[in-house]
Structure 1
Amino acid sequence: MQKVKFIDLFAGLGGIRLGFESAFQNLGFKTECVLTSEIKPYAVKTLKHNFEQDFLAGDLFDIRNEFIPDFDFLLGGFPCQPFSAGGKRQGFVDTRGTLFFEIERILKAKKPYGFILENVEGLVKHDLESKNDKIGRTLSTILYKLKDELGYNVSWEVLDSIDFGLPQSRKRIFIVGTKDETANLNVNEKHFKPLKTILENGLETINSDFTQKLFQHFEMEDLYGKSIKDKRGGDNNIHSWDIGIKGEVSDKQIILLNKLFKERRKKHWAEKIGIDWMDGMALTLKQISTFHKDENLKGLLDDLVKKGYLRFEYPKKLVREKTENGEKKYRVYDETKPKGYNIVTGKLSFEINKILDPNDIAPTLVATDVLRLAVPDNGGLRRLTIREGLRLFGYPEWYEIPVKETEAFDLLGNTVAVPVVEHVASQLAKIYSNNIVELIENEPIIVNNIH
């Protein structure tokens, strides 16, 4: 049986490894992981619990080329925060973004047959030079390095886990390469399953002041798919003031809050304030009075500040800072401008920020808020279990995360959908089988003459 050796970088839960091994083993290969790199202690603990691992290393910066065993494939879900819409999107300016160049360093030194790289969808258009461009300069740089400098046949595709029978929409870019052919990553058959197919039943529900307030205002079915956050809006959003989370408010205050949280996003206020537009700006009493008339307007606003629905603050200005790796952007309070009223938008302050619909799919699981997702069960609401989280990513039932809940969901929020990786890896396995195995089988047998 032909053996395929691989290394697993930024391993996390080992999801890329699972999908890779499954795809190659299905074609009759034996697989061997010769090096795993991971720095989170609770991820390392989980990897040791689930896999037999001879060489488990830490920080990739510390792994010198000569210490890396020879291998056939490199697997790497390199850090996504530098390119994620959920982060500051600094790209290669962020030191985590430079970890791609460590991958390049290893590929250049070890010259494996191929690789699988994974990242967030935001990598595709990160650092766009023009709005008409299909990909940004960051991805262009990565592809240039892999194709033109290292000589691989490279392809990439954004794939959504929902198409692989997982009840979660999770779009990720996969970049793959081989020495022989360009892989086709297109999905021919798509399979959809609702959330209820992975949910457990009859578990203990949350009985708190928060959930009691929810059920005082809504029936269970009316909560399906609802988000609870004081940001943006729409029919699927419940605001904290709708259920009096921070204290009861009057009907007048609800009308005022609903107007303010929409108005503060309008771009003309940025020009009047004298700042670069941002999604949610502090508006002064005078500015608010132009779209909401009430004799006691200041009293209504100050009471909402006291209860915590509003914040009285300076507007924020955009700061551009040049670094040797590019321009860095961030916001700071501009104390030269008058203070105004702004919605307190911290969704993580709420016990639950979204109630999932069992007949629909889950949103993209993010490490920062997955603990605040709720599902209906037993006449009430409860949080997702770790097992349900694993199922949302297609992990096998034997897989376990032997760490505390917060750590487990942090790992899940950053992992990959295993069936998606299996699809990607299966294309590489076919190319590898067609080229390498045939090459080995057709090699001439040299017999030494003995005199």
Structure 2
Amino acid sequence: MSVKYNKLFDKISERKMTPRELIEEAKCSANILTHLKNNEYISMASLEKICSVLNCGVDDVLEFQNKNINENPYAIKVVSLFSGIGGFEEGLKMAGVNYRVVFASEIDAAARKSYATNFDSTNLFGDITKMDEKMIPDHDLLLAGFPCQSFSIAGKRKGFEDIRGTLFFDVARILNEKKPKYVLLENVKNLISHDQSRTVRKILSTLNDIGYTVDFTVINSSEAGVPQNRDRTYICGIYNGTTKKFDKDIRSVKANSLKEKLNETDFRGFNFFNDISFNNVNKHMEDVLECEVSDDFYYNSVSIKDFLNINHFTDVDNYEERIIKLFDLPREIYNDLERQRRVYSVKGISPTVLARSDSTKIFVERNGEKAIRKITAVENFYMQGFGKKFVDNIKKIGTSKTQMYKQSGNAVSPPVIEGITKKLIYDYLMPEKFNDRNNNDAV
């Protein structure tokens, strides 16, 4: 999909102006005209200046066109916000979903570059806060892993004014304008309890106000066969869906507590996440480790080797992550953070993958001896559930190790998205979509 400005040039002709005269009167830079003639994206600010001169709206001069005339009209149309490297898209791909991203947005240039090496980036744009919601194409499903922010003015204003200035506002304004039938959001675990649950309640009530029936829960990525202890909040909404009282949440005590409170109100909820089952193949870190790892990742000092050789460690069998408790650990291996004092058994699962290189240390055998090393940037991706081909593509474009840690640590876990979207699309979206088509064909 690309932008097209035929209607704009028609307007210019009607006004008996030349394109250059319009650009000069709108006080836009000269290269804007080149972008317009080439049907290239220009900023919303420039479009608004042009429309002000022409006394019309943006919709009157802008339209979208599909570059590929062979695109499957039966594909699920998806909008992806805060796309990162495409974790949501990879999850849809794993689910075998026939989908087409009609619009995606990611502010980070390096992440956009990594996205483009694995997915069609024709419809990938930058800062969503600069995009007019009216420019977003119609779609069936909106996906967003938006950052968590405090809603400091929550309760003091009404409607959208409560969330203005937060990144969730950009999700909400698009939902309010385009009203896709389904929405799936991802956020940190603590969203449920953040600011005494005021933040999540504001998000949920905003979705209700727009017209969405909503369910939410906390899912650990390990449930989907990912070798990582990663809790994340997921919110699913159906536009004009059937409202039901929440059942007991089978995954999260905090989510269940909030649901019990919402059941006492007129909140529009439904039960979705309890029915999701994952392809629960238990994986451990040792299943995704690289065979050959550079010496740079190992702690090779004499003090550490001596320390390991005299067995200053115990293997904790009854703990999910199988932490190796190291006593009197040499200071060079950690900083003051408690997490840095831990070394993890490869027979367990990783702690939550973070966006930096020094976050996880593992206990391994190397050349018949005990050793401690950091996980590699590639392993960081594997512990999120990304496949080898996906990661190889990112490596091929010269992505730095620092960026690879950052991008994998900030991503959603695709196998979790796979499980959620299989349920959402095959049980909800596709039956309705095809029923609508069948009804239209019968008319």
- Normalised to the residue count of structure 1, the TM-score between the two structures is 0.63
Question: 5+ unaligned residues in a row in structure 1: which ranges?
Answer: 83-89, 129-135, 227-233, 247-308, 310-343, 447-451
Q: Which whole-Å CA distance do the structure 2 matches of 1:426 and 1:65 have between them?
A: 28
Q: Deviations over 1:281-319 (max 9, x none)?
A: xxxxxxxxxxxxxxxxxxxxxxxxxxxx9xxxxxxxxxx
Q: Which whole-Å CA distance do the structure 1 matches of 2:87 and 2:297 have between them?
A: 34
Q: Which residue, out of 384, 391, 399, partners 1:393?
A: 384
Structure 1 pair 34/92, CA: closer, same or farther in 2 (3 Å)?
farther
- Residue equivalent to 2:104: 36
- Residue equivalent to 1:199: 289
Counterpart of 1:216, as a letter, is: D
- Residue equivalent to 1:132: none
Structure 1 pair 440/92, CA: closer, same or farther in 2 (3 Å)?
farther
More relative contact order, 1 or 2 (CA 8 Å, 6+ apart) = 1
- Residue equivalent to 1:236: 325
Q: Which whole-Å CA distance do the structure 2 matches of 1:207 and 1:146 have between them?
A: 46
Q: Deviations over 1:238-289 (max 9, x none)?
A: 56xx53649xxxxxxxxxxxxxxxxxxxxxxxxxxxxxxxxxxxxxxxxxxx
- Residue equivalent to 2:138: 70
Q: Which whole-Å CA distance do the structure 2 matches of 1:366 and 1:108 have between them?
A: 33
The answer to whether the 8 A contact 2:353-2:359 is kept is: no
Equivalent residues, number: 318
**C-alpha displacement of 1:405:** 0.4
Return the index of the structure with the highest Cα Rg: 1
Counterpart of 2:272, as a letter, is: N
Identical positions, percent: 28
| Higher share of residues assigned helix | 2
Structure 1 pair 358/437, CA: closer, same or farther in 2 (3 Å)?
same
The answer to whether the 8 A contact 1:195-1:359 is kept is: yes
- RMSD between superposed Cα atoms in Å: 3.2
**C-alpha displacement of 1:65:** 1.5
The answer to whether the 8 A contact 1:77-1:118 is kept is: yes
Alignment of 1:357-376 (within 5 A): 357-368=345-356, 370=358, 373-376=361-364
Q: Which residue, out of 150, 153, 163, partners 2:223?
A: 163
**C-alpha displacement of 1:404:** 0.4
Q: Which whole-Å CA distance do the structure 2 matches of 1:92 and 1:237 have between them?
A: 42
Question: 5+ unaligned residues in a row in structure 2: which ranges?
Answer: 1-71, 155-162, 243-269, 317-322
Structure 1 pair 201/354, CA: closer, same or farther in 2 (3 Å)?
farther
Counterpart of 1:137, as a letter, is: R
- Normalised to the residue count of structure 2, the TM-score between the two structures is 0.64
Q: Which whole-Å CA distance do the structure 2 matches of 1:14 and 1:207 have between them?
A: 27
Alignment of 1:30-179 (within 5 A): 30-80=98-148, 82=149, 90=150, 98-128=166-196, 136-147=197-208, 149-179=209-239
Alignment of 1:343-358 (within 5 A): 345=336, 354-358=342-346
The answer to whether the 8 A contact 1:213-1:245 is kept is: no
SS in 2 for 1:236: strand
Q: Which whole-Å CA distance do the structure 2 matches of 1:393 and 1:208 have between them?
A: 22
SS in 2 for 1:406: helix
Structure 1 pair 375/156, CA: closer, same or farther in 2 (3 Å)?
same
Q: Which whole-Å CA distance do the structure 2 matches of 1:236 and 1:209 have between them?
A: 17
**What stretches of structure 1 move > 6 A for 4+ residues in a row?**
93-97, 207-210
**C-alpha displacement of 1:173:** 0.7
Asked if residue 5 in structure 1 is aligned to residue 77 in structure 2, the reply is yes
The answer to whether the 8 A contact 2:344-2:361 is kept is: yes
- Residue equivalent to 1:304: none
Counterpart of 1:217, as a letter, is: F
